[in-house]
């Protein structure tokens, strides 16, 4: 899987987000790689409808329906065809009890990616309420222009994969090349997550095609 996190980069607002969605859909279909766009809640449904891409959220809450002004409901997202979300991103930390609650109440088929930069946290959550995916991102490398987890801390990817056991692992932080992907896959990950390396690139398509190469396609 390639998870493209749009964050709230203005380079991916409105029409630009739809263009990224279209590119993800086209390249994902062509090379048979699951490419998911993690969008701001404001943009998610529109990107999905206009691009046909698989679109998830960047965060969800523990409110399902009724009195929950301002919170994001997984059940509502699911009913609109938005089938997953990131949770506990290092830019949007969530208290332990809330993570637990959200994981337990996720609707059937709604996929949660638990994000962390800590191997200990991976072990903790893999043993508790299992998330569907884990995104391992050392926070100090997030947004790096010239470094990545694969170039700086490749050995920790294998540790993260071991800690995940049966939960599929994605690797993020500074990812921008096919080399980042292949290093991650060789160490037990099943995919990558990225934001700045693609959203801020002069040529996002070139970046995405290079990532695809890292999967041997
Ligand atoms: O969720 C992925 C993200 O945090 C990684 O950011 O900019 O290092 O690709 P970036």
Two tokens, residue 212: 């695809």
Distances (CA, A) of 94 to 37, 53, 91, 215: 21, 27, 10, 32
Would you call 89 a catalytic residue per the annotation?
yes
Percent with pLDDT over 70 in the chain: 100
Pairwise CA distance, residues 89 & 187, whole Å: 22
Of the residues 197, 198, 211, which should be mutated to test ligand 1's pocket, given the most ligand atoms within 8 Å of the CB? 197
Pairwise CA distance, residues 181 & 3, whole Å: 12
Write down the pTM of the prediction.
0.97
Two tokens, residue 123: 């072990």
Ligand 1 binding site (Cβ under 6 Å of any ligand atom): 5, 89, 137, 142-143, 172-175, 193-197
Contact call for residues 180 and 146 (beta carbons, < 8 A): no
Q: Which atom of ligand 1 is nearest to the CA of 173?
A: 8
The angle subtended at Cα 173 by Cα 39 and Cα 63, nearest 5°, is 40
> What pLDDT is attached to residue 177?
98
Total domains, the chain? 1
> What pLDDT is attached to residue 91?
97
Contact call for residues 79 and 85 (beta carbons, < 8 A): no
Q: Measured in angstroms, how far is the CA atom of residue 195 from the centroid of ligand 1?
A: 4
Q: Measured in angstroms, how far is the CA atom of residue 21 from the centroid of ligand 1?
A: 17
Q: What is the span of the domain harbouring residue 94?
A: 2-214
Residue for token digits 């980069």? 9
> What pLDDT is attached to residue 129?
86
pLDDT in tens, 117-145: 999 999 999 888 899 999 999 999 999 99
pLDDT in tens, 4-51: 999 999 999 999 999 999 999 999 999 999 999 999 999 999 999 999
E strands, the chain, where? 2-5, 35-39, 54-57, 84-87, 111-116, 133-136, 169-172, 191-194
CATH of the domain at 166: 3.20.20.70
Q: Which atom of ligand 1 is nearest to the CA of 115?
A: 1
Pairwise CA distance, residues 86 & 160, whole Å: 18
Two tokens, residue 43: 């943009």
> What pLDDT is attached to residue 127?
86
Q: Measured in angstroms, how far is the CA atom of residue 194 from the centroid of ligand 1?
A: 4
> What pLDDT is attached to residue 67?
97
């Amino acid at each position: 899987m390639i998870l493209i996190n749009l964050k709230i980069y203005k380079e991916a607002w409105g029409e630009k987000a739809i263009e990224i969605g279209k590119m993800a859909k086209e390249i994902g279909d062509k090379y048979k790689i699951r490419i998911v766009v993690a969008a701001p809640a404001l943009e998610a449904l529109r990107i999905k409808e206009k691009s046909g891409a698989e679109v998830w959220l960047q965060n969800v809450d523990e409110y399902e329906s009724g009195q929950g002004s301002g919170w994001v409901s997984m059940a509502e997202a699911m009913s609109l065809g938005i089938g997953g979300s990131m949770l506990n991103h290092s830019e949007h930390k969530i208290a332990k009890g809330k993570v637990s609650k959200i994981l337990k109440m996720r609707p059937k088929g709604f996929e949660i990616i638990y994000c962390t930069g800590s191997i200990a946290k991976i072990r903790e959550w893999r043993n508790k309420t299992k998330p569907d995916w884990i995104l391992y991102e050392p926070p100090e490398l997030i947004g790096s222009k010239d470094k990545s987890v694969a170039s700086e801390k490749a050995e920790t990817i294998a540790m993260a994969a071991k800690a995940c056991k049966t939960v599929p692992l994605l690797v993020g932080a500074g990812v921008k090349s096919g080399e980042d992907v292949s290093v991650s896959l060789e160490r037990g990950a099943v995919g990558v997550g990225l934001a700045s390396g693609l959203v801020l690139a002069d040529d996002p398509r070139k970046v995405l095609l290079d990532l695809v190469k890292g999967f041997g396609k």
